Amino acid sequence: MYPLGFHPVRDRFLNDLSSRAPVIHRSELGVKYYFVDYGISSYFPLRSQGGLVYGTEGRDQDVPELSDEIPYDPFKVDIFTIGNVFRQLFHEVCPSTYSNSSH
């Protein structure tokens, strides 16, 4: 995104601070994002049928399934969690931009 680099202390100026760094926008580069949290992962061996887990640990405590007594599908929790991340980072920050109420 910054083909000539930039100096982070000086609001995206070139490293020698002579001028603003040229920018290639994310949409032009096809940037990929990966959301990963290995700290509380569950391991499922290759070719396993998946499985259910127990536990209430996690960064997103809004997940209704979290339980120490009732098993739940961790993959569904991942989907719920990433949805909450998008809601908090995008929709709640700029609701009019990401709302479909105007359509």
Has residue 63 been placed in a domain? Answer: yes
**49 and 94 housed in the same domain:** yes
Residues 62, 85: contact at Cβ < 8 Å? no
Where do we find the tokens 């908090």? Answer: 88
Separation between Cα atoms, residue 28 and residue 30, nearest integer Å: 6
Separation between Cα atoms, residue 62 and residue 88, nearest integer Å: 12
Note the pLDDT tens digit of each residue in 30-78: 778 777 766 677 888 888 777 888 888 877 788 888 889 999 988 888 8
pLDDT at position 99, please? Answer: 57
Domain residue limits at 58? 42-103
Residues 14, 21: contact at Cβ < 8 Å? yes
Has residue 89 been placed in a domain? Answer: yes
What is the average pLDDT across 66-95?
83
Looking at the whole model, is its pTM more than 0.85?
Answer: no
**53 and 28 housed in the same domain:** no
